[in-house]
Amino acid sequence: GDPLVIAGRTFRSRLFVGTGKYPDAATMQAALERSGTEMVTVAIRYMDFSDPRGGDILAHLDLSRYHLLPNTAGAYTVEDAVKMARLAREATGTNWIKLEVIGDRETLLPDLSGTLEATRILVNEGFVVLPYTTADLVTCLRLEEAGAAAVMPLASLIGSGQGLVDWTSLRRVIERVKVPVVVDAGIGSPTDAAHAMELGAAAVLINTAIAKARVPALMAEAMRWAVIAGRQGFLAGRIPRLEGASPSSPTAGVPL
Amino acid sequence: GDPLVIAGRTFRSRLFVGTGKYPDAATMQAALERSGTEMVTVAIRYMDFSDPRGGDILAHLDLSRYHLLPNTAGAYTVEDAVKMARLAREATGTNWIKLEVIGDRETLLPDLSGTLEATRILVNEGFVVLPYTTADLVTCLRLEEAGAAAVMPLASLIGSGQGLVDWTSLRRVIERVKVPVVVDAGIGSPTDAAHAMELGAAAVLINTAIAKARVPALMAEAMRWAVIAGRQGFLAGRIPRLEGASPSSPTAGVPL
Amino acid sequence: GDPLVIAGRTFRSRLFVGTGKYPDAATMQAALERSGTEMVTVAIRYMDFSDPRGGDILAHLDLSRYHLLPNTAGAYTVEDAVKMARLAREATGTNWIKLEVIGDRETLLPDLSGTLEATRILVNEGFVVLPYTTADLVTCLRLEEAGAAAVMPLASLIGSGQGLVDWTSLRRVIERVKVPVVVDAGIGSPTDAAHAMELGAAAVLINTAIAKARVPALMAEAMRWAVIAGRQGFLAGRIPRLEGASPSSPTAGVPL
Amino acid sequence: GDPLVIAGRTFRSRLFVGTGKYPDAATMQAALERSGTEMVTVAIRYMDFSDPRGGDILAHLDLSRYHLLPNTAGAYTVEDAVKMARLAREATGTNWIKLEVIGDRETLLPDLSGTLEATRILVNEGFVVLPYTTADLVTCLRLEEAGAAAVMPLASLIGSGQGLVDWTSLRRVIERVKVPVVVDAGIGSPTDAAHAMELGAAAVLINTAIAKARVPALMAEAMRWAVIAGRQGFLAGRIPRLEGASPSSPTAGVPL
Q: Is the pLDDT at D56 greater than 60, yes or no?
A: yes
Per-residue pLDDT reduced to its tens digit, B126-142: 999 999 999 999 999 99
Contact B112 C113 (CB under 8 A): yes
- The H or E element spanning position A236 is helix A216-236
With beta carbons under 8 A apart, name residues in chain D contacting C87: 255-256
CATH architecture of D4-235: Alpha-Beta Barrel (3.20)
Segment among A246-250, C71-75, C247-251, D21-25 with least mean pLDDT: C247-251
Structure confidence at residue D85 as a pLDDT band (50, 70, 90): very high
- Tell me the CB-side half-sphere exposure of residue B190, using CA atoms within 13 A: 37
Q: Can you tell me the distance from the alpha carbon of B188 to that of B202, in angstroms, rounded to the nearest whole number?
A: 18
- Full 3-state SS string of chain B: CCCEEECCEEECCCEEEECCCCCCHHHHHHHHHHHCCCEEEEEHHHCCCCCCCCHHHHHCCCCCCCEEEEECCCCCCHHHHHHHHHHHHHHHCCCEEEECCECCCCCCCECHHHHHHHHHHHHHCCCEEEEEECCCHHHHHHHHHCCCCCEEEECCCCCCCCCCCCHHHHHHHHHHCCCCEEEECCCCCHHHHHHHHHCCCCEEEECHHHHCCCCHHHHHHHHHHHHHHHHHHHHHCCCCCCCCCCCCCCCCCCCC
Nearest to A198 by CA among A150, A238, A225: A238
Phi/psi class of residue A237: alpha, beta or left (left: φ > 0; alpha: ψ in -120 to 50)? left
Q: Which residues of D touch C250 (CB under 8 A)?
A: 20, 43, 45-46, 73-74
Q: For chain B (length 256 residues), average pLDDT per consecutive 10?
A: 93 95 91 96 78 65 90 94 94 94 95 96 98 97 98 94 93 97 96 98 97 97 98 96 79 45
Identify any residues that bridge with C206 across adjacent strands, giving them in sequence order: C17
Task: Report the pLDDT averaged over residues A197-209.
Answer: 97
Looking at residue A47, its pLDDT comes to: 78
The chain-wide mean pLDDT, for chain D, equals: 92
Q: In whole angstroms, what is the distance from residue A99 CA to residue A80 CA?
A: 11
Query: Residue C155: enclosing H or E segment and its boundaries?
Result: none
Under 8 Å CB-to-CB from A185, ≥6 apart: which residues? A132, A154, A155, A156, A157, A158, A159, A205
D184: closest chain C residue by CA:
C248
Please measure the distance between the N-terminal and C-terminal CA atoms of chain B and give it in whole angstroms: 49
Strand partners, B110: B102
- DSSP run (H or E) holding D168: helix D167-176
The average pLDDT across D62-80 equals 92
Mean pLDDT of D13-39: 94
pLDDT above 90 as % of chain A: 79
What pLDDT, on the 0 to 100 scale, is given for residue B229? 98
| pLDDT band at residue D253 using 50, 70 and 90 as cut-offs | very low
Q: Which residue of B has its CA nearest to C110?
A: B138
pLDDT (0 to 100) of residue B253: 45
- Report residue A62's pLDDT band, with 50, 70 and 90 as the boundaries: confident
Does domain B4-236 sit in CATH 1.10.30.50? Answer: no
Which chain D residue has its CA at the smallest distance from C57's CA? Answer: D249
Which residue is closest to B224 within chain A, CA to CA? A229
Phi, psi (deg, nearest 5) at residue B71: -130, 155
Q: Looking at chain B, which subunits does it touch, using at least 3 CB pairs closer than 8 Å as the criterion?
A: A, C
Q: How far is CA D60 from CA A192, B180, D39, D47, in A?
A: 51, 67, 14, 11
Q: Which tens digit of pLDDT belongs to each residue from A96-121?
A: 999 999 999 999 999 999 999 999 99
> Taking CB atoms and an 8 Å cut-off, how many pairs form between chains A and B?
289
Residue C133, number of CB atoms within 10 A of its CB: 28
Min Cα separation A192/chain B (Å): 7
pLDDT of residue C46: 74
Instruction: State the pLDDT confidence band at D49, using cuts at 50, 70 and 90.
Output: low
Which comes out higher in pLDDT, residue A236 or D253?
A: A236
Which of A47, A209, A228 lies at the smallest CB-CB distance from B225? A228
Q: Please indicate whether, in this complex, the C-beta atoms of A116 and D111 are within 8 angstroms of each other.
A: no
A113 contacts in chain D (CB < 8 Å)? 112-113, 116, 139, 142
Q: Do B109 and C137 touch (CB under 8 A)?
A: yes
Interface contact D138-A110, CB threshold 8 A: yes
Q: Most C CBs within 10 Å: which of D14, D132, D239, D256, as the mutation test of the C interface?
A: D239
Collapsing DSSP to helix, strand or coil, D69 comes out as strand
Look at C256 and D215 and tell me if their CB atoms are within 8 Å.
Answer: no
Complex confidence, ipTM: 0.89
Q: What are the residues whose beta carbons fall under 8 Å from the beta carbon of C94, sequence distance 6 or more?
A: C68, C69, C70, C88
Residues on chain C touching B112 (C-beta within 8 angstroms): 112-113, 136, 138-139
Q: Provide the mean pLDDT of chain A.
A: 92
User: Cβ–Cβ contacts within 10 Å for residue C48, how many?
Assistant: 15
The pLDDT score that the predictor gives to residue B55 is: 56
Residue of C21, C83, C98, C212 with catalytic role: C98
What angle (nearest 5°) sits at the alpha carbon of residue A25, between those of residues A19 and A27? Answer: 85
Q: Using the beta-carbon criterion (under 8 Å), do C46 and D219 form an inter-chain contact? A: no
CA atoms of D203 and C28, how far apart (whole Å): 30
Q: Identify the chains in contact with C, defined as 3+ C-beta pairs within 8 A.
A: B, D
| D179/A184 Cα distance (integer angstroms) | 31
From the list C157, C177, C165, C225, the residue with the least C-alpha distance to C197 is C225
Question: Which of B21, B83, B98, B212 does the annotation list as catalytic?
Answer: B98
- pLDDT score, position C255: 42
Instruction: Supply the angle between the helices A112-124 and D137-145 in degrees, to the nearest 10.
Output: 100
Do B138 and C109 count as a contact with CB atoms less than 8 A apart?
yes
pLDDT at D245: 84
Q: CA torsion C139→C144→C147→C151, rounded to 10°?
A: 80
CA angle D241, D244, D245 (to 5 degrees): 95
Phi first, then psi, for residue D23 (nearest 5°) are -60, -35
In the predicted model, is pLDDT for residue D55 greater than 60? Answer: no
Q: Which of C105, C113, C116, C174 to mutate to test the interface with B (most CBs of B within 10 A)?
A: C113
Q: How many CA atoms lie within 13 A of D48 on its CB side?
A: 10
Chain C's closest residue to B115, CA to CA, is: C113
Q: Chain D contacts of C106, Cβ < 8 Å?
A: 244-245
Q: How close C184 comes to chain B (CA, Å)?
A: 17
Question: Degrees (nearest 5) of the Cα angle A212, A184, B187?
Answer: 85
Contact C226 D236 (CB under 8 A): no
First-residue to last-residue Cα distance in chain D? 49
Choose between C91 and A35: higher pLDDT. A35
pLDDT at B96: 97
Parse chain B into domains and list their residue ranges.
Answer: 4-236
Whether residue A251 has pLDDT greater than 90: no
- Top residue of A77, A136, A162, A173 to mutate, by most chain D CBs within 10 Å, is A136
Is the pLDDT at A10 greater than 90? The verdict is yes
Determine the pLDDT at residue D209. Answer: 96
pLDDT, position A55: 56
Closest CB to D215 among C108, C191, C237: C237
Angle formed by the axes of helices D112-124 and D78-92, nearest 10°: 40
Is the CB of A18 less than 8 angstroms away from the CB of B248? yes
Compute the distance between CA of residue C107 and CA of residue B220 in angstroms, rounded to an integer: 37
Nearest partner of C112 among B117, A70, B217, judged by Cα: B117
Helix, strand counts (H, E) of chain C: 9, 10
What residues of chain A lie within 8 A of the CB of D113, using their CB?
Answer: 112-113, 116, 139, 142
CA distance A75 to chain D (A): 15
Q: Which of A169, A40, A139, A144 is nearest to A94 (CA)?
A: A40
Asked if residue A122 lies in contact with residue A82, where contact means CB atoms within 8 angstroms, the answer is: yes
Average confidence (pLDDT) per 10 residues, chain C, 256 residues:
93 95 91 96 78 65 90 94 94 94 95 96 98 97 98 94 93 97 96 98 97 97 98 96 79 45
Name residues whose C-beta falls within 8 Å of residue C11's C-beta, 6 or more positions apart in sequence.
C3, C4, C5, C38, C39, C67, C203
* Predicted local distance difference test score (pLDDT) of residue A171: 95
Best of D169, D170, D174 to mutate (most A CBs within 10 Å, chain A)? D169
With beta carbons under 8 A apart, name residues in chain A contacting D103.
Answer: 137-138, 141-142
Told to judge if C98 belongs to the known catalytic residues of this protein, a careful annotator would answer: yes
* Chain C residue at shortest CA distance from D188: C239
